[in-house]
Structure 1
Amino acid sequence: MRVTEKKLADGVIKLDCEATAIEVNNALKEAGEAFALSMGVRPEPGKSIEQLCQEQLGIADLDKIVEMNAIEVLVPRALDRRNLVPAFPPKATPSVKFERGKKFSFALNVTVKPTYELTSYEPVEITVPPFVFDESPINQQLEEIAKNSVTYVATDAKPLTAGDACSIAMKCFDDGEEIKALTCEDRTYIMGRGYMPAGFDEELLGMEPGQTKEFTFEAPLGTESGEVVNKPISCTVTVKEVQKEVVPIIDDAWVKANMPMFASKEALVADMRRVFEAQQRESYEGYVQQMAVGALTHRFEGRIADEIYEATRDHLMNNLRMELQQAGMTWEQFVEGNGGEQQFGMMLMMQTREVLVQGFCLDAVYRHERMTLTDKDLEDACYGMNPQGNPKAMREDLEASGRGFALRETAERLKAARFVAANAKITVAEAPAAAPASETSAAEAEKPAEDARADEN
């Protein structure tokens, strides 16, 4: 992409950009794939995104549908080419028609991110609570291990009812051909768990150990025109025994038998503690860092332009709307649940200012301390964006998509935040002393009486 720049007034830079035909085609491909994913288009071997969208959505001209999104794909590439960090995403103004296989010219008026200075760069002073390890995840993990390790043993014979477990022998046939995956001589089956279609469970109701039954049920075993089709399955089932669930006790013997990498339950718990404590300490350090950055914001001076504030607010709102849509909640429900429009508006205003001021303060520290970025800094920033992802691969994707400038900004701010926290003067508050057992008991004894008096009043 060819990009030239010209400085305008009030910190605005005009970029004149020309994307190659290959870049245009790649942008259409990226935008088309994102659109198809958002619309739930099912991939099929040997078919292009355009073919799939036409067959499944009835869209004859996918390029036209995703044109604006494809242009937006080109915008960050232009910014990255000139190493510009905008205060907010600029909008492209096309100079020619956007067409596949042709060059595309457009202009961007970029409001460059402003710089601010702080009233002081001395270490901040904060008071934080002490780190206290929370044991509850260990107990929850042990309970989860026990729950996932249940066994089933024979219990008193009785007619099967919903939710019962039983041992069955079964043969199933589709048009006379045996279905090997559903054939068994002795399998524990739990009714009502959805392991088999509802019609199968209905036929088992009332059966007793030793009883054999032949029946047919409907099962989803095929597709036609992309839709799941139910087919009749004939089967013979023998109930061998009624069973009950046995949840194991996680003790030394169980651990040695089922988790031989640990010599005892104590060793298993010690390993869990190591993992959970590392996670909790990471969260605690993040909290301390946030407290330090929060203290730094009190040193911010300057006015944030209305257009920067409004663009940041809109960006936060758009992100929130997408999160609510994924969670199945409407915007109106969320606003109502947060105190109504007026209170939510105040909350959003405060959050917008907090986001902007924190970012500008960290920018100031990064410049003042003359910091530079390393590969590790960039990968740490990627890890912070997606702890489950591959930082190196994520960095490559961001830089290839023209979002290297955004990655660098995130990495610079993270490095500055760590510097602020590492140099902060931190006072660790004393943990509140636990009340003596006798006092606690007395307080608990008094509470019902106080509640009763409150009810009388």
Structure 2
Amino acid sequence: MKSAVETLSPTRVKLTVEVPFEELKPSLDKAYKTIAQQINIPGFRRGKVPASIIDRQVGREAVVAQALDEIVTNAYREALEENELTPLAQPEALEVAERSGDDPVEFTAEVDVKPEIELPDYEGLEAKVDDLAVTDEDVEEQVQNLRQRFGTLADVERAAADGDFVTIDLVATKDGEVVPGAEVSGMSYQVGRGGMLDGLDEALVGLSAGESKDFTSQLVGGDLVGEGVEVKVTVTAVQEQELPEVDDEFAQMASEFDTVEELTADVRERLTRGKRLEQAAAARDAVLEALLDKVSVPLPETMVTDELNARRQSVEQQLAMAGITMEKYLEDEEQTIEEFEADLERRVRDAVAAQFLLDEIAKREELGVDQNDLSQHIVRRAQQSGQDPQEFANHMFEHNHIPELVQEIVRGKALATLVETAKVTDESGEHVELKNLLPDGTIGEPQAEEAEAEAEADVETDADETAETSDEAGTEK
């Protein structure tokens, strides 16, 4: 077999492959056997029909055509390997040249391939992240949330105010007709919570039990989503939330701690761990961005377009599930549709370029995946999607998604390699510890090699200090 590669762009090539006719023989033999099993010829058992009879009954060209399907598939794969090309999609513009008799089989195909990338020096990349700060207000907010979990509701004979719980009846109409699915009764709602209907919170404030109010709004779900409707809300009860005092008794009731001081210290520590994980995520993004700034990666436009469409569809699905129109989302984000599309395309291009770079780093670092890596990743992905790990694993195997999971793991390891060698500091100039950061947000003990290096450094420091002391003593004498 002979093959030649014509580079159409940094991410697209045209393959020309020529296969001598004699190499077609194994595929021809296989085609004859397959056809022999499919036809009935008087005087011959199924599967035992001679090739010459098949040629007369079915036609030699039909047999050759079936053999060509296999030989082209195999030759295409071999040509990719021979020329060290990694395809990114199925081949396009596949053309098999006309042939006769024992002429060689020749075909051409165009395909998007992974670009060749010259990796820059990626050790010691510098990145900066926000300071890790847990304020007293953050702690107070968490304690307040805890108080609300243990709060009780009491009926009050007054108008509803922000923060009160009310029982309401609600109906939406359009052109005098009740909108299907837009009528509820006896629903509990906290005034000021938001997220239900625009204008509802404002309408409820000041209403007492038995009072009603009309207002206009837009539906956030159903067939009339986004359309204006008339809404009538009636309050049937008003309740005030009574919160427990923040004292040692509350600490014992709401936690395993005996005192408020212990409880608040634990809240602060948990917030710190969470902030540390957020800071680590920001550091990973910043380090990857620093790498992207050092190299230009050619991108296949077909791949970018497909990813753009997929992400756009994902955003639209999420908005639909939340009952929010794209117009409302853009209004809340203070973006035009042009700004949204430009930002989406920028993020997609960065993501695709990052994938190529991480793949190259994984190849250079010879990073691999073992069974334990795969099992842990499957469990983590299942938990994130709220699925049973075994059911998730079965689905991945049945639909041949395991290679995608392996790729995710390898890229994750490549990114971890980048981050562990990077120099990440916060806005105050302090070093951000990432190498020994554990999944729960705590800082673990240094690994053996690192601990040994630190010990050697301590020994050298002690030796230097001893030498300085000796010099000083000699000088005094």
State TM-score, norm by structure 1. 0.49
> Which fold has the larger relative contact order, with Cα–Cα distance below 8 Å and residues 6 or more apart in sequence?
1
State TM-score, norm by structure 2. 0.47
